[in-house]
Structure 1
C-alpha cells in the first residue's frame, strides 16, 4: 500500500539501494540533493523532453595509487 502524500508533495516510493551506495551518493551529491539526482536520472532514462544527465562529481582519488 502506498502512503498518501500531502497535496504539495510527491508520493513516497520504496527503492532498495545498498547502504554504501546511498552514503556515497549523499557524500557526492549532498545529503539533501540525492532525490534531485535520482529524479534527473529517471527523466533522462525515460527520455523526457529536455532531460539531461546530471553532472557527475569528479572521480574520487584512488587510495591505492592505481
Structure 2
C-alpha cells in the first residue's frame, strides 16, 4: 500500500456545476470539499459532538457576473 493511500474507498455521487463553486467556497475556508462533506454527514447523522460546517461569506468565493 502506498503512503498516500486513502483510508476509505472513493464514492460516487452526481453533482452539477455547483461542484466547482463548492470547491472555491471550501478553499476560501482553507479546507477541501471532502472534509466539508464529512463534517456535514457527521452532523446530519447526529454524531456526538458533530457541528454543522461553517459557511464562508459569499463574497469570499463568488464572482459576480461582469467582474
Match of 2:24 among 24, 27, 40: 27
Deviation string, structure 1 residues 10-55 (Cα, Å, up to 9, x no partner)? 111111111x21100111102x600000000000000000000111
Equivalent pairs, count: 57
TM-score between the two structures when normalised by the length of structure 1: 0.71
Show structure 1 runs of 5+ residues with no match: 1-5
Give the aligned partner of residue 39 of structure 2.
Answer: 40
CA RMSD, 1 decimal: 2.5
Show structure 2 runs of 5+ residues with no match: none
TM-score between the two structures when normalised by the length of structure 2: 0.70
